[in-house]
Chain A
Amino acid sequence: MSEEKIDIFIYSVFLPNICDLNMKNIGVVSYGAYIPSCRIKTEEIAKAWGKDPETIIKGLGVIEKSVPFLDQDVATISVEAARAALNRISIDSQDIGAIYVGSESHPYAVKPTGTIVGEAIGATPYLKVADYEFACKAGTAAIQTCMALVKSNMVKYGMAIGADTSQAAPGDALEYAASAGGAAFIIGSENIIAEINETCSYTTDTPDFWRREGRKYPAHGGRFTGAPAYFRHIMGSATNLMNCMGVKPQDYNYAIFHQPNGKFPLKVAQMLGFTKEQVKQGLLCPLIGNTYSGASMLGLASVLDVAKPNERIFVTSYGSGAGSDSFDITVTDEIKNFNKTKAPLVSQLIEKKQYIDYATYAKFRDLLYWE
């Protein structure tokens, strides 16, 4: 992949730049993250399927991934992340006017995860809730919705959560990276620690990866998931945002891209003109895999864990189906007063781990059918 030149020129050449603009004083008030502590190594999965671990690790750039315990799911991960976000500030959870949970592995197909989170953090009953789905970018879509609700004064605070415990078919290439984790962001207009200067999205009907209703595992288009999907949409959204804002990659301290494996984000960063250094802090996939709806959100959380006032952050998520959301963020002085140590940092969550073997993994991920 790294040797190829990705040609997406044909898709974006005649489109004007469009941004919403008019964002002012809206941003992240707090955030929290959660990654389950179980890990399985790529080499363990490779051995189970008779593949060469070295080849897989080199090709995917994933060394190990996180696995949820039998009693963890998107609801429990979302609650952990939400509570972490609330532990870091002192707001009344009743002032949270909306919760949107984005995932592609909600515990129920019908019955929202958001209401479970709402009860668990004491935000009910005067609360707007819905669950979101847009493959891996459901969480960032939720952030955009919360921004709009805050901007229109419909809520004081909105909570956007991206979390997943995604399934991959046993033996499929996706099995090496499909992992579990999530992050919650509280969006508001008071005591903002990171101001969201602008956001835009780039969306088309591109079926690169999907899961039909009632089916257990997703299907995907193999190499089709590359140029026409991931790269086209991230490039489309990212260049649109930077053109609207009149900025260049060098203007940012950090860049976070969706990370389905350890290679794609580095490639797209290079294509856009970002350096490896800018991408490093937000690139978690090699050690925890692809947390799907949690991926870009956890990347942003990891950056906010270390960011300093006035540093500028660029985020572009990607969700199959397909679309990308981009954000231009500036860290404020308020981050100095922010109690990040009241909840685990992303680096701490990554370090807290215990390894399991493929048999235990199969039991946890319900790959074995039992009556």
Chain B
Amino acid sequence: MTQGGVSRFWREIPQRYNLIGNQCEVCETLFFPPRESCPTCRRKSVGKMKNKKLSGKGKIITYSIVHVAPEQFKGQAPYPIAIIELDEGPRLTSQIVECDLNDIKIGMRVEATFRKIQEEGYIGAIYYGYKFKPAKV
């Protein structure tokens, strides 16, 4: 049976597996996820955006413990979701794992790890990607 929607998430495997962002060659700003052009340099940056793998290391800017979760995440609730600022500058939103809920703090150092993000029931595809765990300081 056909299962649609896979291409939408397959396209982003380099981002989800390896945190591949890109960099404007003109002003050297880093972006994650990658952008088609740099908002500052605009037309000067077209064709000058270079793929760049980010380190996956960063710190928590803010977080919340999600108690009421959507279907795909139900079994995991309560789980922490956070906005993380990577050392290279870009920020992203991701779950925190391997950490007691009471031990999460704003400012905490974290690093990326590879986990299952969601799956389409028992029949559909499985999507893997980044979550963040406490970094050894």
Contact = CB atoms under 8 A, between A and B. Distances in A.
A and B touching (C-beta < 8 Å)? yes
Interface of A: 37, 69-73, 75-76, 79-80, 83, 107-108, 116, 119-120, 122, 363-364
Contact of B116 (A75, A80, A108, A120): A75
Contact of B115 (A71, A119, A122): A71
Interface of B: 13-14, 17-18, 75-76, 95, 97-98, 113-117, 126, 128, 131
A364 B76 CA distance: 9
A224 to B, nearest CB: 32
24 contacts: A37-B98, A69-B97, A71-B76, A71-B95, A71-B115, A71-B131, A72-B115, A72-B116, A73-B126, A75-B126, A75-B128, A76-B114, A76-B128, A79-B114, A107-B116, A107-B126, A116-B128, A119-B13, A119-B14, A119-B17, A119-B18, A120-B18, A363-B75, A364-B75
Nearest to A122: B18
Contacts of B115: 69, 71-72, 76
Contacts of B17: 116, 119-120
Residue of B13, B97, B116 with most chain A CB atoms under a 10 A cut-off: B116
A120 B114 contact: yes
B21 to A, nearest CB: 15
Contact of A80 (B114, B117, B126): B114
A327 to B, nearest CB: 29
A131 to B, nearest CB: 14
A325 B115 CA distance: 31
B18 A76 contact: no
A71 B126 contact: no
A100 to B, nearest CB: 19
Given A107-B126, A119-B13, A70 B75 contact: yes
Given A108-B126, A116-B128, 14 more contacts: A69-B115, A70-B116, A71-B76, A71-B117, A72-B115, A73-B116, A75-B116, A75-B126, A76-B114, A119-B18, A120-B18, A120-B128, A122-B18, A364-B75
Contacts of B131: 71
Contacts, number: 45
A363 B76 CA distance: 9
State the 9 A-B residue pairs at the shortest beta-carbon distance, nearest first: A71-B115, A79-B114, A71-B116, A120-B17, A70-B75, A76-B115, A70-B76, A76-B114, A119-B17
Nearest to B122: A366
Given A71-B97, A120-B18, A122-B18, A76 B75 contact: no
A364 B18 CA distance: 26
Given A69-B97, A119-B13, A76 B126 contact: no
A79 B128 CA distance: 11
Contacts of B126: 73, 75, 107-108
Contacts of B75: 70, 363-364
A328 B114 CA distance: 34
Contacts of B117: 71
A363 B75 CA distance: 7
Nearest to B126: A107
